[in-house]
Structure 1
Amino acid sequence: MQPKPSRARSATKARPLPWRDLALAVGVAGALILGSQVRAQEGEGDIIKSHGYNYFGELKYPADYSHFDYVNPDAPKGGEIAIAAQGTFDSLNPYTRKGRAAALSSVMYESLMDESAPADEYGSQYCLLCESLEYDEGKTYVIFHMRKDAKFSDGTPVTAHDIVFTHNLFLEQGLPSYAIAVKKRITGAEALDDYTVRFDFADEISRRSLIDQVGSVPAFSKKWFEETGARLDEPRLETSPGSGPYMIEDFEVNRRIVYKRNPDYWGEELPVNVGRHNFDRIRIEYFADETAAFEAFKAGEYTFREEGNSKLWATSYDFPAAQRGQVVKEEIPDGAPPSNSGFVFNLAREPLKDRKVREALALAYNFEWTNESLQYGLFSQRNSFIQDTPLEAKGTPSPEEVAFMEALPVEVPEEVMSGEVRMAHSSNSDKLNDRRNLRTAMKLLDEAGWTVGSDGLRRNAAGEVLKIEIPVNSAGAAVLEAVIGSFVQNLQLMGVDAKMEKVDPSQYTNRRRDRDYDIIFDAYRVFLGVGTGLNQVFGSSEAEFSLFNPAGLASPLVDAIIEAALQTGSQAEQDTALRVLDRALRYEFFIVPAYYKADHWVAYWDVYGHPETIPPYDLGYLDFWWYDAEKGEQMRASGALR
């Protein structure tokens, strides 16, 4: 549930992070090593001491692991990787609630346990700033024993006092949804000495998302914050020292930012870091829009691109450098579920509170035509919030799902209890305006009291026009703009006063934060495990203000499922709960699911290497790829790259 941005993953597509408590729980290849958590009798209960943490007590990697299986432990260090960002930035503080933070601006900070790895095992974290942790069997507290050699980039030690300070700083100046949830669950944070920190947890709550929550809080320098008076929630161009492998080398606001390897990084040889953080420099170039960014890539102004534009992927990678083999184009399997993107309804808007209205408006989206006409047939239709995983709800509920729902303290709609799970509607791919769907939609709007007037617009009994406004980021992809435009065109055919409004990146960010929209093309975080972070994303208690719940979903059914899921005690029970959650979220219908692709589309100048097998849960190009110096020299000698 920790709202801090992911480090290496923040440049890639949306992931189950940044809250590690949304721990993914799909089966992981390779045998789990049990018993790597040592139990010692102490007081009235068992005390578990370990080098990592998993809620079910199962860790893939033993205490004496030398490196993660998927990395190249002999990967060379050096070179630069350059990527693109679109829009603007005015802050180097990644946690600000105002302005726009620079890309990867959290890369400098580490936590007690590494929340960005491993990429082949979800639900587990391994010690980074800590060397071990211990907790009682009932998980009423946790004690972290910190590494005494951990240093901030200014050379000062990272201590337990910094950890407690950071924890309290997030409660005082962090996101309100985070602070409210954490205060209910974490009752105390105490530095027992300079290198030992203890957290105590509230009674009579789920034991989920407690230890992994506090273990993933970034470590800030208490000394720096107290000396400077800087605030966590305000933009600034000064950075506090971090303990991570990278630090800022240079930046030009709205143009570029460069991170360099900290030559004195304390943790390079830790097993958790072997084969990782291989680049000397990470450079990010900013562009006004996608067209400018792609042209710059063709010219070698930056060197790595994860493509999301189907038109570019299908038609534009035939430029001279690609034809000469100097640019590599790869499709790499992606084992994580796709981002839950689509047209999100703002449920606080009066017309959209009516499910029948939402059902009608959804029929304006023609996935089949959009995919064939605008996206070169490269995408699939998303149905589930856990698409293409073993946890995806399918067909009618299983006996285990029925038993789970029967035990809930709320009434479960018959449609959920015994009906087929909701699937996305189908449309005619031959033309944008599928007449069958439009007729159905218009009938639904009539039934909902929105009838067509003499001017062709729909009004309710009070004479109010049915208006739908969809803001679009002017720096976004042209294809996405076309997708939204086609949706708006069909809405207009229904008699809806619909429009798409292009706004600059800063205004778009503010409107998204303030929920100043009727519908927005956005995404919900994926989940494959149970954690209290689910309440931030889907729960009622924070629905009015959570940035992670753009619809403002507040459903007693969903709340009850999440609460029951938090009480599950086995992997099988948890999996059942998540299938039921998927089923219920699809029933609530607060987002029109859009398209997705099952692979990473990447293109890069041929100066990089990566493991032969990419792990399932992270592409990892900023994490465990490396620079090939020989290829780089050849590329420079040929004049292809500077």
Structure 2
Amino acid sequence: MVRRGFLGALLATLFAVPATAGAQDDIVRSHALSLIGEPQYERGFDHLDFVNPDAPKGGTLRMSAFGGFDSLNPYIPKGNPAGAASLAVETLMDQHLGEPSTEYGLIAESVEHPKDHSWVIFNLRPEARFHDGSPVTAEDVAFSFEVLRDKGQPFYRYYYRNVTEAKVLDTHRIRFDFSETGNRELPQIMGQLPVMSKAYWADREFGATTLEAPMGSGPYRVSAVEPNRRVVLERVEDYWGRDLGINRGRYNYDRVQYEYFADRTAVLEAFKGYVYDYRTENSSKDWATAYEFPAVERGDVKVELVPHSRPTGMQGFIYNLRRPLFQDPALREALSYAFDFEWANKNLFYGQYERTESFFSNTELASQGLPSEAELELLEPLRGMIPEEVFTEPYSPPSTAENSLRENLGKAFQILREAGYKFENKTLLTPEGEPVSFEILLADPQFERIVLPFIENLRRLGVDASLRTVDAAQYQNRVRDFDYDMVVGSYPQSESPGNEQRDFFGSEAAERPGSRNLAGIRSEAVDRLIDNIIFAENREALVTATRALDRVLLHSHIVIPQWHISALRIAYWDKFGRPPVDPDYGVDVFAWWILPEKAAELAETYK
């Protein structure tokens, strides 16, 4: 879970490293937790390097959202929530886009934990206040943990499963005890806890959908709602945390407005019509062809490609291994030869993408070549439980850069024949004589242009593949219940993978509705490799363990890898002031501010 929903997926999976040691040798006390070296900022720092600490306040930031919503509680499994509501809720600690794998105190002023990471204590700031003026207390923190665990999305029960107890030590001090030692990520997992008011929920049902935004303590509160159309948040003038170093120079808008659209084409057209202000473009076709409208030519809209250093993870066609058809790794491998990335990149993507070859792409965690000696120490005990190719072949997805598609399909036929499949009357039959047939489920019609050529190539293999595009709500429900044969999905990663890998690939998550184990992989070997990551004693051991897991996942062919780009494609109306540098891991639009004169000129021109 990533606080407030806009800092990117899973930058929050971190380790704890001491900034200052306490009087007791085995207790670490600090204002921050970090995996990769010491925290960049010392206790009491004034502001982040990539902000203007004196940025003016005012104006409205208008953003877009796709789909609709019928609830403002983003923490429960019911309904279709508006994620914007999470802007109102603070966490114990916070992250920023300029420094990977680091959390700084927010509601918590400081944190304590023993070196074996068997518990963590958060010392709350006495000045922290909810929007009704009531203080944030340890009782509120304990309530938030318990209600999320018991009534929140299934993800929380899994995420907090190693937390045995929340102990209120005094009004501003809370301790979480853990069921295991050596899991360095657990203190930071608890640092991500959204803190809600126990008193507010005393006469409300937490598990019910609601259009009343849960009360928080953050820089914004929800001020207006139009179901399925709009959510408006207003800046809290007396926000208790406005002068903290992690916040100063950020959250500069008086209002943040999210406009909802049911059609992605309408989203782009609305941007061109000055309905909203800032856009991150995910379509290579639109990036190449749709930004030559008059406002761009006049300079009223700025279009930029912003390189970043953050992990790009894995996006791909994901097999549902819960389906008997896809339990055969030979079939999964063979079908990957029908996806022609090079053709798609040239003809559909305007050459903008790179092929993804790792679940941890764009990081040092990605496996390369054959296993190192350190990796072999982890992999050798698993022989017979993992693909033999892990030891003998570097992984590389099928490519038409050197081979033709015809040659690749020939390789697929060879794999299938050796596995007992037959080709009769232009139909591929399983070893049991059943036709190979499956459905690819989508929620975005724009992706059809990518899937349809893949389906055509599959037909050349005798595979009866079909496409079904459904609305966002139906898609969400079907994915939550694992009701699909294949989906296009992703596994976002951080610089410091940890407990979330259990949710992505762990056996326990495979049958838990709502988990992110979309492939349904269940493997004792994978579970053991994940534990090696979670209990890694240092960065070197973490890198080794992650590369070992990466190899096993790749050679297990649970996905057909797609592509990535190591840059953000952004477009925005020229009404913003902006710090001279962007953070290394993306663009923080909440560190920008409105220029009133430019905003007035645009409003007059495009009214």
Fold shared per TM-score above 0.5: yes
Pairwise CA distance, 1:53? 1.8
Match of 2:400 among 398, 423, 427: 427
CA distance in 2, matches of 1:24, 1:136: 13
Q: How does 1:292-371 map to 2 (within 5 A)?
A: 292-371=266-345
Match of 1:142 among 117, 120, 123: 120
- Asked if the contact 2:163/2:179 (under 8 Å) is kept, the reply is yes
CA distance in 2, matches of 1:380, 1:409: 32
Aligned to 2:22: 39
Aligned to 1:100: 80
What code does the residue aligned with 1:308 have?
A: N
Aligned to 2:41: 61
Match of 2:163 among 186, 196, 210: 186
Match of 2:545 among 557, 566, 577: 577
Aligned to 2:146: 168
Distance 1:238 1:501, change over 3 A: same
Aligned to 1:218: 194
Q: How does 1:468-487 map to 2 (within 5 A)?
A: 468-473=438-443, 476=444, 478=446, 480-487=447-454
CA distance in 2, matches of 1:8, 1:505: 18
CA distance in 2, matches of 1:244, 1:606: 28
Distance 1:235 1:363, change over 3 A: farther
Gaps of 5+ in 2: none
Pairwise CA distance, 1:83? 1.8
Distance 1:24 1:525, change over 3 A: farther
- Asked if the contact 1:513/1:547 (under 8 Å) is kept, the reply is yes
Match of 1:624 among 587, 591, 597: 591
Structure 2 SS opposite 1:535: helix
Distance 1:146 1:351, change over 3 A: same
Distance 1:438 1:59, change over 3 A: same
- Asked if the contact 1:187/1:200 (under 8 Å) is kept, the reply is yes
Aligned to 1:613: 581
Greater alpha carbon shift after TM alignment, 390-399 vs 459-468 = 459-468
CA distance in 2, matches of 1:79, 1:197: 38
Greater alpha carbon shift after TM alignment, 215-224 vs 194-203 = 194-203
Match of 1:452 among 396, 417, 423: 423
Distance 1:477 1:430, change over 3 A: farther
Distance 1:136 1:389, change over 3 A: closer
Pairwise CA distance, 1:420? 3.6
Distance 1:579 1:160, change over 3 A: same
Distance 1:68 1:411, change over 3 A: same
Q: Does 1:289 find its partner at 2:280?
A: no
Match of 1:82 among 36, 47, 62: 62
Aligned to 1:399: 373
CA distance in 1, matches of 2:119, 2:332: 45
CA distance in 2, matches of 1:325, 1:516: 47
The count of corresponding residues between Structure 1 and Structure 2 is 606
What code does the residue aligned with 1:16 have?
A: L
Pairwise CA distance, 1:56? 7.1
Q: Does 1:529 find its partner at 2:500?
A: no
- Asked if the contact 2:313/2:358 (under 8 Å) is kept, the reply is no
Structure 1 SS opposite 2:389: helix
Distance 1:465 1:375, change over 3 A: same
- Asked if the contact 2:14/2:188 (under 8 Å) is kept, the reply is no
CA distance in 1, matches of 2:330, 2:533: 29
CA distance in 2, matches of 1:543, 1:279: 42
Aligned to 1:604: 572
Pairwise CA distance, 1:206? 3.0
What's the Cα RMSD here?
Answer: 2.3
Aligned to 1:275: 249
| Runs of 4+ with >4 A deviation | 406-414, 428-431
- Asked if the contact 1:371/1:378 (under 8 Å) is kept, the reply is yes
Pairwise CA distance, 1:320? 0.7
Distance 1:316 1:408, change over 3 A: same
What code does the residue aligned with 2:529 have?
A: I
Aligned to 2:175: 198
- Asked if the contact 1:322/1:328 (under 8 Å) is kept, the reply is yes
Distance 1:448 1:578, change over 3 A: same
Pairwise CA distance, 1:302? 0.9
- Asked if the contact 1:366/1:429 (under 8 Å) is kept, the reply is no
CA distance in 2, matches of 1:223, 1:207: 33
Identical counterparts, % of pairs = 38
CA displacement 1:306-327 (0-9 Å, x = unmatched): 0011111111111111110000
Aligned to 1:72: 52
- Asked if the contact 2:27/2:112 (under 8 Å) is kept, the reply is yes
Aligned to 2:9: 15
Aligned to 2:414: 443
Aligned to 1:30: none
What code does the residue aligned with 2:123 have?
A: H
What code does the residue aligned with 2:565 have?
A: K
CA displacement 1:27-58 (0-9 Å, x = unmatched): xxxxxxx97313212xxx53222111235773
CA distance in 2, matches of 1:338, 1:569: 25
Distance 1:425 1:361, change over 3 A: same
What code does the residue aligned with 1:250 have?
A: A
Pairwise CA distance, 1:263? 2.0
Pairwise CA distance, 1:362? 1.3
- Asked if the contact 1:37/1:57 (under 8 Å) is kept, the reply is no
Distance 1:168 1:328, change over 3 A: same
Distance 1:496 1:120, change over 3 A: same
Greater alpha carbon shift after TM alignment, 523-532 vs 356-365 = 523-532
Aligned to 1:506: 473
CA displacement 1:87-119 (0-9 Å, x = unmatched): 2211111122133111322111111111xx222
CA distance in 1, matches of 2:327, 2:114: 46
- Asked if the contact 2:142/2:167 (under 8 Å) is kept, the reply is yes
Pairwise CA distance, 1:414? 4.2
CA distance in 2, matches of 1:310, 1:142: 45
CA distance in 1, matches of 2:268, 2:77: 30
Distance 1:307 1:541, change over 3 A: same
- Asked if the contact 1:5/1:94 (under 8 Å) is kept, the reply is no
